[in-house]
Structure 1
Amino acid sequence: MAFPLNKKITMWILSSVIFMEMLDSTIINTAIPEIAKTFQTQPINLKLAITSYLISLAIFIPISGWAADKYGTKKIFTLSILIFTISSVFCGLSNSLYEIAFFRALQGFGGALMTPVARLIMVRVFPVNELVIATMYIFLPARIGTILGPLIGGVISSYTTWRWIFFINIPIGIICLFFASKYIENEVINSNSKLDYKGFILIGTSLSCLALFLEFIGEKIIPNNILYFIFGVGVISLILFILHSLKIKDKSILNLQLFKLRTFRIGTLSNVIAFISTGGIPLLLPLLFQLQFKLSPLVSGLLIAPMAVGAMFMRGIAPKFINKFGFKKVITYTPIGIFVSLIMLSYININSSYSYIIISCFLLGFFSISLMSSNGTLIYVDVPKINSSNATSLDSTIRQFSSGISIAFSTLLLTYFLNFTNNHIYSDNAINAFRYTFITLAGIILIEFFISSGLAKNDGEKASKGLS
């Protein structure tokens, strides 16, 4: 499908800012030891910088749709790029733990507006029959960014200063800001809309508490009684928000009425399972390669990179699959490929060839992007334009929370199996704990069979037209 120049530029702008935001969510991980040395603190204390970013995302993502409707997509989008870029500069200039934690929180605020509004712009610019290809080109960088983040962070911290982890955002931000100002239209849906303050406070409290709980559970940094209290506040706030949202319906900051749409409901649930099953792999594999196989961060990053290559390779094939088989079959049968890939990863050992590891990672990236891009399109095919901002806010909030769950869940699984096998993570036999973790994650992806069974054969048909 050939797009006119303005749409191609729009896709490039959206994909670039999403890549930048997703890259920043993981790039800091491998640089933590170097940052800790600079600040003369323990590496574990750098959790504060990671957590402040995640909590800021959790709090402010729900407000993105309302802000775009009231002030316009272009204004909020360009403002978010500006905030993200400036905060990146100050993150790179930070000289203490608290400085970087503060500016990472500010960066998270920019990211909380940037990615959901980018998704909203996509939904409004591209008609339903163009969404499959647009989604593939725009959101593929999201998958690649999270995968390549640890590798790029490792290279930068090894050969330059960790500060360039943040400074690399400056040219990307400036270029995207220039083109966004020129090519993105400022579409205002309802300038008189009022913010659902009660819903904002409830969901912000819930998601920030749950994010804090997921980030620190099992790490003995925060006492368990305090951590479980935080979890309780998060759960109660979530229940109160759901009751509040169901009462005021379309006026809620996160419109739960959208779950009445079958395609939105199933696409969202399918994405949650996909995230939980595969989202923790970019964390587990470096641990396996570095702690068990004694490989360097650079080599372990290179071994994971084929996941990104597989995702890029699938980019040109996925629309043809959807056109030929339809969303129902793709979402039903693609998880088999993910299942096989995870089982292959479970058999990796110290004697495994690099080629076996590379093929396993390639296949996982190949099938994962097929499933997630199909879900990403299906979510929006039946959403009325007037509800597009509600849909992107709700979808982005669930995606962010699912991403956090995936990492926490994978870590908890690994910890459980280490205890079950009476091993610690550095012991030679700890590889069995990794194996059981991968097998469990492989089993979880099979839940997709039950979720996709709720789809009708022709669901999403409008989006598959013209993909041949």
Structure 2
Amino acid sequence: MNFPVNKKIIMWILSSVLFMEMMDSTIINTAIPEIAKSFQTYPVNLKLAVTSYLISLAIFIPISGWAADTYGTKTVFSTAIIIFTISSIFCGFSNSLIELSIFRALQGFGGAMMTPVARLIMVRVFPPSELVKATMYIFLPALLGPVLGPLIGGLITTYTNWRWIFFINIPIGLCALYFTQKYIENEIAEHKTKADIIGFLLIGTSLSCLALAIESIGESIIPSYIIKVMSSIGIITFIMFIFHAIQYKENSILNLQLFKYRTFKIGVIGNIIAYISTAGVAFLLPLMFQIQFGMTPLKSGLLISPMAIGAMVMRGISPQFIKKFGFKKVIFFAPIGIFFSLISIGFITRESSYIYICICCFFLGFFNILLMSSNGPMIYVDIPKNKSANATSLDITIRQFSAGLSVGLVSFLLITFLDNLKTNIHSEEGIKSFHYTFFILSGIILLQIIASFGLKKNDGEEASRGAS
């Protein structure tokens, strides 16, 4: 299928922006030890810079659709690119952990507006007959972002300065902004939806307070009384949001009525378990490789990249697995593959061969995407089409928040084991703390098997037959 020149340019714009956002979610991981040295702080404290980005995404993604419908796709998309690019510059010039975390949160706000609106532009520009192929051209290059992120981050940090991992967003952002202004139309929805401002403020306050409180457990950065206050505010506003969502039903910014659908509920629970048990691994491995094994950021990035490669391989063949075995069997057996992958990673030592490390990382990414590719569609199999947008917002919010919690969890476990062993992260004994943390994560993923018992044999049968 040959696309007109303007549509090809739009595909390039969307793909480059998605690539930038997806790369940015992983590029910081291999630079964490060097950033910690620069800020003269404990490496694990850098979790705040990682989770602030993820939590910001979780908070602001639900309002992206309303913003695009109200102010126009081009306006919101352009503004998001500007915010993302400028905040990248600020991240590069940060001189403390607090500064970096604040600007990463601003980056997350830009990403929250950028990625969903890019999908919306794609749907509006390309008719159904062109959409499948356009999706492939747009998202395949973008999927290279998580693969190249650790490599580029490691390369830059090893041979230049960690600040350049943020500055590389400048040329991408400026080019995307220029072509957006020239080739993308500002489409405003004819029937504008009313924003649930109260719901947004309640859930935004709740998620941010709870996340910050959980991240700060066992740390001395924030006084304990402030943590208690934030926890209380987070819990109170969350309860208030639940009552608000029950009253507003489908009009709530996050439609909790969707949990009445059994497959949606099981799929969401599965995603929470999967993200909590695996999302923190990309944060933990660079710390172990660089601090414990003395590797360069580049070598660390090279050893982690098979995780993303395994994910890309499985992404291409997962529909065949689902079609052959069905959702219930895949959701039952995929966690077993993740379990053994995490256990294997938990036995990595200084003497482990690079081949062994790469194989462990490859299969973790491989089985993780198999599970995600099953939980993802399962969420939508029984959801009416007119509620699919609500389901997407709720699903993405929960996934991003769970990913942020995972980073906080692995940090808490690591520090706890270090304290119990009466050692520190730089000592030889410290490797045990990493191993124990991976073993705990491997146990968490087995909860997914229990969740799969709630599925019926024929759940998603029609969707699995359509997989190809």
Structures share fold, TM-score greater than 0.5: yes
TM-score by length of 1: 0.84
Q: Provide the secondary structure at the position in 1 that maps to 2:380.
A: coil
1:350-382 deviation per Cα after TM superposition (whole angstroms, max 9, x unaligned): 222111111111111111111112222332344
Q: CA deviation at 1:246?
A: 0.9
After the TM superposition, which of the residue ranges 440-449 and 374-383 deviates more from structure 2?
A: 374-383
1:409 aligns with: 409
Segment drifting more, 146-155 vs 299-308: 146-155
Provide the aligned length of Structure 1 versus Structure 2: 468
Q: Deviations over 1:323-360 (max 9, x none)?
A: 21222222221111111111111222222211111111
Conserved in 2, the CA contact under 8 Å of 1:88 and 1:170?
yes
Name the residue aligned to 2:429: 429
**1:172-187 paired onto structure 2 within 5 Å:** 172-174=172-174, 176-177=176-177
**What is the TM-score with the length of structure 2 in the denominator?**
0.84
Q: Which residue of the partner structure matches residue 356 of structure 2?
A: 356
Change (3 A) 1:321 1:163: same
1:231 aligns with 2:250: no
Q: Give the letter aligned to residue 306 of structure 1.
A: P
Q: How does 1:302-451 map to 2 (within 5 A)?
A: 302-451=302-451
Letter in 2 for 1:366: F
Rate the CA distance shift 1:443–1:177 in 2: closer, same or farther, 3 A.
same
1:153 Cα deviation after fit = 2.2
Equivalent residue for 1:273? 273
- Tell me the equivalent position of 2:87: 87
Question: How many angstroms apart in 1 are the aligned matches of 2:451 and 2:8?
Answer: 34
Partner residue in 1 for 2:250: 250
Paired AA for residue 243 in structure 1: F
Residue equivalent to 2:297? 297
Q: 1:227 to 1:145 in 2, by over 3 A?
A: farther
CA 1:352–1:106: 2 relative to 1, 3 Å: closer
Paired residues for 1:156-175 under 5 Å: 156-174=156-174
Greater displacement, 195-204 / 207-216: 207-216
Contact kept in structure 2, 1:74 and 1:181, CA below 8 Å: yes
Q: Deviations over 1:241-262 (max 9, x none)?
A: 1111111111111111122223
Please say which of residues 160-169 and 95-104 is displaced more in the overlay: 95-104
- 1:458 and 1:12 mapped to 2: Cα distance? 40
Structure 1's unaligned 5+ residue stretches are none
Work out the CA distance in 2 between the residues paired with 1:406 and 1:82. Answer: 29
More off after superposition, 421-430 vs 248-257 = 421-430
Q: Is the 1:321–1:330 Cα contact (8 Å) retained in structure 2?
A: yes
CA–CA separation in structure 1 for the residues paired with 2:44 and 2:353: 33
Alignment check: 8 A CA contact 2:214 2:408 kept: yes
The alpha carbon displacement at 1:152 in A equals 2.4
Cα-Cα RMSD: 3.9
Q: State the alpha-carbon separation in 2 of the partners of residues 104 and 280 from structure 1.
A: 17
Find the aligned partners of 2:387 and 2:320 in 1 and give their Cα distance.
Answer: 29
Q: How does 1:197-212 map to 2 (within 5 A)?
A: 197-212=197-212
Partner Cα separation in structure 1 for residue 440 and residue 45 of structure 2: 31
1:213-232 maps to which residues of 2 (within 5 A)? 213-232=213-232
What is the identity, as a one-letter code, of the residue corresponding to 1:87? Answer: S
* Corresponding letter in the other structure for 2:164: W
Which sits farther off after the overlay, 96-105 or 309-318? 96-105
- Report the CA distance between 1:117 and its aligned residue: 3.6
Distance (whole Å) between structure 2 residues aligned to residue 45 and residue 324 of structure 1? 45
**Is the alpha carbon distance of 1:20 and 1:379 closer, same or farther for their aligned partners in structure 2, counting shifts above 3 Å?**
farther
Deviation at 1:286, TM superposition (A): 1.8
CA distance, structure 1, for counterparts of residue 455 and residue 209 of structure 2:
34
Output the CA distance in 2 between the equivalents of 1:15 and 1:32: 27
Once residues 6 and 363 of structure 2 are traced to their aligned partners in structure 1, the CA distance between those partners, rounded to angstroms, is 34
CA distance in structure 1 between the partners assigned to 2:278 and 2:137 by the alignment: 20
Partners of 1:97 and 1:181 lie apart in 2 by: 35
2:453 aligned partner, one-letter code:
S
Looking at structure 2, the residues matched to 75 and 101 of structure 1 have their Cα atoms a distance apart, in angstroms, of 26
Distance 1:219 1:100, change over 3 A: closer
Contact 2:47/2:408 (8 A) holds in 1: no
Note if contact 2:342-2:441 (Cα within 8 Å) is conserved in structure 1.
yes
SS of the equivalent of 1:454 reads coil
Structure 1 pair 421/353, CA: closer, same or farther in 2 (3 Å)? same
| Segment drifting more, 352-361 vs 153-162 | 153-162
Secondary structure at the aligned position of 2:170 is classed as helix
Instruction: Return the alpha-carbon distance in structure 1 between the equivalents of residues 47 and 434 of structure 2.
Output: 24
Query: Hey, what's the Cα distance between the residues in 1 that align with 2:459 and 2:23?
Result: 33
**In structure 1, C-alpha distance between the alignment counterparts of 2:266 and 2:189, rounded to whole Å:** 27
Partner residue in 1 for 2:114: 114
Counterpart of 1:326 in structure 2: which amino acid? G
| Counterpart secondary structure, 1:303 | helix
Which residue type is aligned with residue 403 of structure 1? A
Please give the per-residue CA displacement for 1:22-54, whole angstroms capped at 9, x wherever unaligned.
Answer: 332343355467668888999899777656545
User: Post-superposition shift, 1:445?
Assistant: 0.9
Give me the whole-angstrom Cα distance separating, in 2, the residues matched to 1:159 and 1:392: 41
